Chains A and B, each alone.
Chain A
Amino acid sequence: MLLKRFVSYSHTMLLCSALLLSGCFEKQPDGQKTDPEATVTTQENSAANASATAETAASAKANVNVYLEISNGMKGFMPAAAAGKEATTFQNNLLKLISEVQDGRYVSGKAFFLAKEDAQSHPVLDSVSYNTMKSYIVSGIKDDVRGTPLPAMLQTVLQKSIDQGAVSIIISDFIHGPSDQGQFISLDADIRSSLREAEHQGLAIAILGNTSEFFGTYHPAVKKPEVRRTLQGEEIPYYIWVIGKQEQVQVVTNRVLRNLPPQQAYFGFEYQKVAFTALLKEKEFRPAGVVYCSSRNADPCTSVNLQPEKSEPVEFTVALDLSSLPMSMQSIDYLKKNLKVTATGSRASMVSVTGADESIKATPDLARYSHFVRVQVPQLTANSGAITVQLPHVYPSWIDKWATDNDNNPAAEPKKTYQLNKIVNGVQALYRDQSEYVFSATLQFNKAD
């Protein structure tokens, strides 16, 4: 009797142990979570993704208004065509641009305007057809337009585009030609006032600087010693300004203008959500020192535990998806120079920035990230805190190089525009108080126990 009971007892024990062995603490692959909470979040995520895709699909097209300034100062960019004479860079680029606007698939509505001034120096916008604008570009400007009241022109253009819900593409040499010379002194303030509406409406501005050969009469802003000069192919800068909603400006810069010059400046650009994660288990980005994700299966991992030692500082990689940023901001050199790693509760610094190469693009977990920032934390000063990777708004260095206080002799000092820095300062002042950073990604950390 006792024996039998023992047998059944031992059987029960074995059964229990077998059950326990199979059941306890299984590591679950991310995709197979069954607890209801996780399922809900996944659904939410996919819903969010779906709406995001819809959003990008909707904004992938833009209404575009093209404004070509046709004062006498622009004539040299568009010399009349003759057989055996090569077109200027300006002509080539502009033809590509308006053709893309006319026939490109990323443009939903379009309008072309010639910007000039009337006898009272008031800006006038002439609505023209694609063909008219094309003929202006290829065969030159026949009109006689004296000056360019830059702030007034910008204001008129902006108002027109806001009324029509369009992105403005403004092409001009941006040489201010006021009727009253005193206006040069207040140029930055005037530019700011003229674009005030853009900031109010939450619009962003992209400025692209380029140069082109110039044939003909050049009208410098500084009229001494020469009031005008005749140039034979010297390089003169011209600018394309794109003003509109951030995502639409990007549609225009990335898909309509396509080949952007290296001189780019962006104002009012801000990215609230940039996907990022700490990479701790990837073989390509092996961390150093004591650091691990606070949650075992978190994806993305936005909270880490770390414990730097004197002999072994913590080093790990933060992956970021910056693919929606303007191209020039995505360049590794730019990010190396400007990206900032700041921290509360620790000392943290940036070691390196790398882009995604082919092998990374082929790794499913990494493919959604475009940039990889190596962060070093040699010391903690508190038990918890945050490490932030952020990109401040940076005043582009080319602006000052392209600006001059005397543009009277472009042959001696090529590729300069009179008071360009003042013009850009006016634009920058508009957005100065908006936000300090293009994006920022914040990782929480706790001291590892």
Chain B
Amino acid sequence: MIQQFFSGLYEMVLGRPIPANFTNDYREVVFPNTGLMLFIITLAIVILYYYVLNRVMSTGLYKTQHWVMFLILNAIIAFIIPVTQVSSNDIETHSYTYMFAFVNVVFSLILFFVFSILLKKGSVQAWTTPMKWPNKR
């Protein structure tokens, strides 16, 4: 189920894995691993930013530029994971690999934003980062 979801998600944008002989390695290992890690790491960083740094610890990293820093940190991780996944599974690297990493970065940006919107309400210092909407008060 998870395998199909993630391979469907990535192949929707990227098309069939290239080289084709590694299709099953991508579908059964690389896509689901990368997708799950993307989801979990992004969630972890968003929680770290809003609840640890800007609630428990009150570090003063509540400005939008700090938020962008974490967004970029997450994006870098999102680029590294697919590349290491591909190479650690003995799959030939191809421009497809880097396209895949790039798409993963785009996904990470979207996901980071979505998690931020959903979770920022619970933060004490950063509830208006990156912007006030949709929170009122």
Contact = CB atoms under 8 A, between A and B. Distances in A.
A6 B50 CA distance: 11
B44 A25 contact: no
B47 A13 contact: yes
Interface stretch (B30-38, B93-101, B125-133): B30-38
A290 B22 contact: no
B40 A292 contact: no
B24 A293 contact: yes
A292 B47 contact: no
B32 to A, nearest CB: 5
Contact of A20 (B16, B21, B25, B40): B40
Nearest to A296: B24
A66 interface: no
Interface string A289-303: 111111110000000
Contacts of A207: none
A290 B16 contact: yes
Nearest to A304: B21
Interface in B1-54: 3, 16, 19-25, 28-29, 32-33, 36-37, 40-41, 43-44, 47-48, 51-52
A147 B90 CA distance: 71
B56 A17 contact: no
A449 to B, nearest CB: 10
B32 A292 contact: no
Contact of B22 (A17, A292, A305): A292
A24 B36 contact: yes
Interface residues of B, number: 29
Contact of A292 (B3, B23, B43, B89): B23
Contact of B47 (A10, A26, A27, A305): A10
Interface string A261-299: 000000000000000000011000011011111111000
B23 A21 contact: no
Given A291-B20, A296-B24, A25 B40 contact: no
A246 to B, nearest CB: 37
A430 to B, nearest CB: 45
A3 interface: yes
Given A13-B44, A25-B29, A287 B24 contact: no
Given A3-B56, A13-B47, A17-B40, A27 B23 contact: no
B55 interface: yes
Nearest to A19: B40
Nearest to A294: B24
B24 A21 contact: no
Contacts of A26: 29
A411 interface: no
A296 B44 contact: no
Interface in A334-368: none
A316 B90 CA distance: 19
A138 B60 CA distance: 108
The residue in A24, A26, A287, A292 that gathers the most chain B C-beta atoms within 10 A of its C-beta is: A292
B56 A7 contact: yes
A325 interface: no
B98 to A, nearest CB: 20
B30 to A, nearest CB: 9
Contacts of A21: 36-37, 40-41
Nearest to A26: B29
A62 B41 CA distance: 68
Contact of A17 (B44, B51, B55, B89): B44
Nearest to B20: A290
The residue in B21, B24, B51, B90 that gathers the most chain A C-beta atoms within 10 A of its C-beta is: B21
A27 B41 contact: no
Contact of B52 (A10, A281, A295, A316): A10
Nearest to A314: B20
Given A6-B56, A17-B44, A27 B20 contact: no
Interface in A300-330: 305, 316
A281 B16 CA distance: 17
A7 B55 CA distance: 10
A14 interface: yes
A296 B28 contact: yes
Contacts of A27: 25, 29, 88-90
A374 B125 CA distance: 66
B122 to A, nearest CB: 8
Given A25-B32, A290-B23, A292-B21, 12 more contacts: A10-B52, A17-B41, A20-B36, A20-B40, A24-B36, A25-B29, A27-B25, A281-B21, A286-B19, A290-B16, A296-B28, A448-B23
12 contacts: A3-B55, A14-B47, A17-B43, A17-B44, A25-B32, A25-B36, A27-B25, A281-B21, A287-B20, A287-B21, A296-B24, A448-B23
